[in-house]
Each structure stands twice: as structure tokens, then as C-alpha cells.
A and B are shown apart, each in its own frame.
Chain A
């Protein structure tokens, strides 16, 4: 039985330039995500990835269809769902003036849990930043801290929205390692990205979205086999100069 099930999930928004008309930001998306997998939702900007995640997280109303996480209906029991999910949003700013440890304790309190902030910081490799303020973290450290905040309730499902956007290659790989580690420990992870390398590296299964619809899904290998263009019979070689010389000859001109 899948841990996340989407059945014809639909979201309608008013058109930006004509408020009386609407368009479908998410257009009847059906998906099932298995327990313990890393699932990637890919697509260009505006494809509906974030809206889909936000409906699962309770941030956005569901206009049509249904979704359930761990058997709990998202629309009728939003607070039960919030208890079992961890969320990292695209915006990762926090209260000024609170240290990482204080923020983690605060997030623990929101779930009515007493947590060990240092253990969590250790998990995301930020132990030495325990008393720093979020404003003083680098981009990669901020993302790792966001993930630490999302882990305070030991969630069954972790949602990551474009976790590596804007990170340098080192920070990106460091974050990939973290995601793999969490997944190895049994956590189901759903992430959005438009970085193909990331999808190929991290995700066991992928869905590609465009214009609110899922246009392809499967494992990275399946998708490549099915959709990647055939390689040309003879690989391209040479350059334009070769063409020019072949056509006009090598003789020197006056």
C-alpha cells in the first residue's frame, strides 16, 4: 500500500491578467508514492510542482480529487497529517534573534515534543553552529538547518521543495548525501527539482509535470529508455572549418 496517494488532485487559480477566468494549476494529478522511496517531481517553473506539494501539506485548499498520507485524508484531517510530515519550504528564513538550538526547541514545542537539538544539528552536520543565528549561515547551511527543523517530529514523510536551488556544487552534494542518509534510515522523501542530475542521483522514481499534468513517470532508467532521443547512427565529428576547407580546397589564394 502506498504511503502517499493522489487521486485526480485539482487546483484552480484565477488567471493573472483576467481575474474572472480560471486556469488549472494542477490538473487531475494521480500518483502513488511507496513507503521508503525518494520520489522526485520534476518540471519547468509554473508546472504545478509546488502547488501539488502545498496541497499535500495543507497550505493550499484542494479544489478537486483527493489525497491521503499514511491512510489519512489530507482535506478532512489536516492536523493529523501535519503531525506525521516534515516540511522544508522554498523560503527558509526564521525569527531573527533566536539561535539554531532555540529555534529547534521551539519547533519541537510546536509538536509538543522535548527534543535534543544538538543531536538534530549533528545529523545535519551543524553542531558547531549551535549558537549561531540563521542569518549568519551560508546557503547550504541554511538548507540543512531547514531540514533539521523538518525532522523535529520524526516525520514519516519529508517534503523538500527545490532543496538545492542556489547552492554551490559542494553544498549540493553535501545535501544529497544527507537526503540519501535519511532515506537509508527508512524515511520517505518527496522532493521537487528542476535539476536533472539531482533527480537522477537521488530519486528512485520520478514524475515529470508540465501545465499541471503529469506527462511521464517511472524510474530514471525507464524514462531515459522510453523518452531520450535515439543516438545518431554516426556520431558527429569535425567542425565548420573542415566543411569550409572540404568545399573550397586547401590551395593558398592570392
Chain B
């Protein structure tokens, strides 16, 4: 398929890329750090919410309520006087303070309900939505045991997925898509601008090399680099961070390959338009940044504002990352991810069409 010249050139570019230790380091560094940090965050228990409790009541029910709270891992309970806890709340050491007033008793007067005063700091008020239902739950449980009634409903959570899905499992395919995009766009777009700035393209132009030989060599060498770096990252994720990939590796790498071609095309377009390092930095960011946030790399597109979802779904990186994720997390086959594959194919055609129009050898070289 490749001519002898293209094979030799590909090897030369491979050598050039592999010897560029600095960019290899940084393109590995970010995903590794990112996945490691999230691996730790997710493994540790969620931090307990600090609440202060002021007990001015002597009733048994107050004691029951407090012991319920203390036994819940969600809360870190501090008992104390109202004044000192109020100060702690203002200082931000407590998320909220519950005051059980002296008349907090339901045993004496069955008809009246007891009240709890809740002191909150407005700055922390966002956590209220999470805490209040739990508090109500506790009160309900106490009430039931006090009145000796069985709850009318119980909820049983049953995990239908046989394996546990961690955030890291979700993150890995997104990280791979992100890394291959960066490597591919840098490989074609940023490198072309750099070679032009140095006059290397001009020097190549005065030799009999054909532009297709140059492009083929960049594509082959860069694809090789992407495959190597992604394999390193996947091995790291699987063996060090214990990430699970349940799908077929061949299918996974096929999507990686197709995604790389899409972004190499986009890179060739950018490298042909932008004439300076600053320009490629700017247009590169225009293409890269929205995709980092909108392509469902860090969190699912479904959780984004409705307004941006239609755009988010059709970004090239979205197709690549959702395709990779379906394979890695759900064990989907290539046939099952056909919507992603069609999206990738469409972007490939668009990118290829534009690249062949924009990449004019004589103009790019000069």
C-alpha cells in the first residue's frame, strides 16, 4: 500500500516524534495525573458533613434522635452550646447547627409536633437540599419506632449490572479520546506550522517529494505514536488503577484508529490555514476547547444543559468518546455502536474534503 519512499519517510517521522521526549512526556503526564487523582478521590469515602447539635431538651426522644445522627456516616456530629456552635457555623467549621429546644418532646403532648431549629450559613445553603431529606428520614424512623408502626414502603436497591461501575471506568475511554485528539491535531497541524516556520517545508519542496508522500508519512508515523501512547495509558489504567475494560480490544483500537484519522485531517486543515505559531494556537484552541467540555469526556452529555446537548452530540470528539465508552464500559460490538461510527465517518469525509482543498503543497511550503 505504501511506496518504499513513504515507508522510509514514515520511519523518519516516527524517529523524530519518538525523540521528542518533552512532548511525549506531557501528552502522557496529563491523562496519568488526571486519572490517578480521580482514582483516589473516588476510592476514599465521601467526607462527612459537619453538623453541630445543641440539645436543650431532656426528653428521651431527643437522645434517640442524636444517637441516630451520630451513627450515620454521612454526618460528623459535634454536641455543644448554642453560642459556640453558632460561631463555628459562622467560621465555616460547621455546615449547619440543629437546636433541639427545651420543649422538644413528643411523649407528653401527642397531638403537637416537636420543632427543631436549623441554623445555616447561607454560603453553605446548597448542601441543605442533600441534608434535609436525610434529617427527615431520621425523624421518621424515630417516630415509627416510638409509635411502633412498620413503614408502609421500603425501597430495595438492586444493581442490575453485574460489575461495579466506577467513575474511572467511565473516565478512561473519554481520556483516550481526548489524548488521541490532542496527539493527532498536534501531529499534523502544529507540526506543519513549525516545519514551515523553520523553512523545512520549503527545503522539502525543492526536492522531488510529492505532497502525498509527505502526508502519508505524517499520518502513518503519527498514528503509530497515538497507538503506542494510548497503549501505555491503557496498561497504566488497567494494571495500576484497576480500571475495567470489558469490550473487545480490537474494536476499541479500530475506533481509536478512525478517530485519529479524523483529527489528523482536522489538523492538516488548521495547519494549512494558520501561518504562525500564535495563529495555530488560537485556532487549535477554538477546535479543542469546546470539545473538551462538551464531548462527554468528564461527565455524560445527558447531564448538560438541554440547550447545548444537540451541539454536543454531533462534535467529532463526542462520537469517538461515546464509541470508545460503549465498547469499554458496556462491551458493545462494532455493530452496536454504528451511530458513533457513522458520525466518525461523516467527520472523516468533511475533514478529508477540506484538507485536500486547503493543503496546497506550494502554498503550505512557502
Contacts and interface: CB of A to CB of B under 8 A. Distances in A.
B123 interface: no
B199 A89 contact: yes
Given A96-B20, A97-B15, A110-B5, A89 B198 contact: no
Contacts of B203: 87, 89, 91, 94, 149
B365 to A, nearest CB: 7
A119 interface: no
A59 B205 contact: yes
Contact of A58 (B9, B20, B205): B205
A23 interface: no
A57 B208 contact: no
B166 interface: no
Contact of B199 (A82, A91, A97, A111): A91
Contacts of A85: 206
A98 B15 contact: yes
A49 B8 CA distance: 35
A97 B20 contact: yes
Contact of A107 (B5, B199, B207): B207
A89 B366 CA distance: 12
A110 B198 contact: no
A167 interface: no
A106 B221 CA distance: 15
Contacts of B199: 89-93
B204 interface: yes
Interface in B190-220: 195, 198-200, 202-209
A110 B208 contact: yes
A111 B208 CA distance: 6
B362 A59 contact: yes
A116 interface: no
A208 B362 CA distance: 29
B16 A95 contact: yes
Residue among B8, B16, B195, B207 with the most chain A CB within 10 A? B207
Nearest to A83: B208
A13 interface: no
| Tier of interface size on chain A | 20 to 34
A90 B365 CA distance: 14
B47 to A, nearest CB: 47
Given A109-B5, A112-B5, A93 B206 contact: no
A102 interface: yes
A111 B202 CA distance: 16
Given A109-B8, A112-B5, A59 B206 contact: yes
Nearest to B365: A59
B16 A96 contact: yes
A89 B208 contact: no
Contact of A97 (B4, B16, B198): B16
Contact of B200 (A93, A97, A102): A93
Interface in B2-17: 4-5, 8-9, 12, 15-16
A110 B366 CA distance: 19
A91 B202 contact: yes
Nearest to B366: A59
A102 B12 contact: yes
Interface string A57-68: 111110000000
Contacts of B195: 95
A69 to B, nearest CB: 12
Interface in A104-127: 106-107, 109-112
B357 interface: no
A58 B206 contact: yes
B206 A87 contact: yes
Interface in A186-245: none
Contacts of B5: 109-110, 112
Interface in A50-76: 57-61
A13 B27 CA distance: 42
Interface string B3-42: 0110011001001100110000000000000000000000
Contacts of A97: 15-16, 19-20
A34 to B, nearest CB: 23
B15 A94 contact: no
Interface of B: 4-5, 8-9, 12, 15-16, 19-20, 195, 198-200, 202-209, 362, 365-366
The 5 lowest CB-CB distance pairs between A and B, nearest first, are A91-B199, A97-B19, A93-B198, A110-B207, A87-B206
19 contacts: A59-B202, A59-B362, A61-B362, A79-B208, A82-B206, A87-B203, A89-B199, A89-B202, A92-B199, A93-B199, A94-B200, A95-B195, A95-B200, A98-B15, A111-B207, A111-B208, A112-B4, A149-B203, A153-B207
Interface of A: 57-61, 79, 82-83, 85, 87, 89-98, 102, 106-107, 109-112, 149, 153
Given A59-B366, A93-B199, A94-B198, 19 more contacts: A58-B206, A82-B208, A83-B208, A87-B206, A89-B203, A91-B198, A91-B202, A92-B199, A94-B200, A95-B16, A95-B195, A96-B19, A96-B20, A97-B19, A102-B15, A109-B9, A110-B204, A111-B208, A112-B5
